């Protein structure tokens, strides 16, 4: 685990090492980067590196935590008692923040490191109970955990794909797409299909054939 800094100067040095790792990760995988290479990039001796971190994986965790804590600070200016929060606005702010930190998000995505980010985000949301307001009253803990995991993993994957394709859609359009996914079913159930067909019978499942027609 990385060490908590007690002074502003130490925090700046620690963040500098984090920034250097993220920069290196844009051209290499985390496995290919050595602590020595990171120290050379950050222009710090190995002794100083181990003063802040136990391993390069700890640097990744520090980057993830910084991303999560930064999001709360980012939301500060947008919070107003006169302007009620909505899911649409929350999505727009999340996308704006992700776009602002796209290099960090994409570095994590390219290195298959979004999972620890999502796990930390989920843990934070569960601990603070953020998101309860979006759930029906009386929702039990199991349903809340499942909904939180489903939402965070889904949003992270969607944002990663958005970035991988050059953020072609605007923040406004992407927020609308995500809101529709979160509030409307994408795949209609077989029961609904049967009702629409007027038969009242659920159609039999068809086998899937890969690589050609059935024999």
Other C-beta atoms lying within 10 Å of the C-beta of residue 121: 22
**Rounded to an integer, what distance in angstroms lies between the CA atom of residue 145 and that of residue 97?**
24
Q: Which fold has domain 1-81?
A: Tetracycline Repressor; domain 2 (1.10.357)
Q: Any residues with CB less than 8 A from the CB of 104 and at least 6 apart, and which?
A: 22, 63, 67
Write out the DSSP string of 173-208. Answer: HHHHHHHHHHHS-SS--HHHHHHHHTS-SPPPPPPP
pLDDT of residue 48: 92
**Phi and psi of 199, rounded to 5°?**
-90, -30
pLDDT of residue 138: 72
pLDDT of residue 12: 93
pLDDT of residue 130: 57
Question: Mind listing the pLDDT tens digit of every residue in the chain (215 residues)?
Answer: 788 888 999 999 999 999 999 999 988 999 999 999 999 999 999 999 999 999 999 999 999 888 888 887 887 776 666 666 677 888 888 899 889 988 888 888 888 887 777 777 666 666 655 556 656 667 777 887 887 788 888 888 888 889 888 899 999 999 999 888 877 766 666 556 666 666 555 455 444 333 333 33
Q: Any residues with CB less than 8 A from the CB of 3 and at least 6 apart, and which?
A: 14, 51, 52, 53
**Rounded to an integer, what distance in angstroms lies between the CA atom of residue 34 and that of residue 129?**
38
Structural domain boundaries in the chain: 1-81, 84-184
CB neighbour class for 72 (10 Å; exposed up to 12, middle 13-18, buried from 19): exposed
């Amino acid at each position: 685990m990385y060490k908590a800094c007690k002074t502003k100067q130490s925090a700046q040095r620690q963040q500098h090492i984090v920034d250097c790792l993220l920069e290196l990760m844009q051209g290499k995988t985390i496995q290919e980067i050595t602590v020595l290479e990171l120290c050379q990039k950050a222009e710090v001796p190995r002794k100083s590196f181990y003063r802040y971190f136990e391993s390069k994986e700890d640097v990744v965790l520090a980057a993830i935590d910084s991303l999560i804590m930064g999001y709360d600070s980012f939301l500060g200016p947008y919070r107003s008692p006169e302007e009620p929060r909505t899911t649409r606005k929350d999505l727009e702010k999340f996308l704006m923040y992700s776009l602002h930190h796209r290099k960090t998000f994409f570095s994590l995505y390219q290195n298959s490191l979004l999972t620890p980010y999502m796990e930390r985000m989920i843990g934070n949301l569960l601990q603070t109970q953020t998101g309860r307001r979006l759930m029906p009253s009386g929702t039990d803990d199991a349903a809340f955990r499942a909904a939180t995991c489903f939402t965070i993993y889904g949003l992270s994957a969607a944002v990663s794909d958005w970035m991988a394709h050059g953020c072609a859609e605007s923040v406004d359009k992407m927020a609308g797409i995500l809101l529709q996914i979160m509030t409307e079913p994408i795949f209609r159930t077989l029961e609904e299909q049967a009702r629409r067909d007027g038969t009242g019978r659920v159609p039999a499942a068809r086998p899937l054939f890969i690589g050609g027609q059935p024999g």
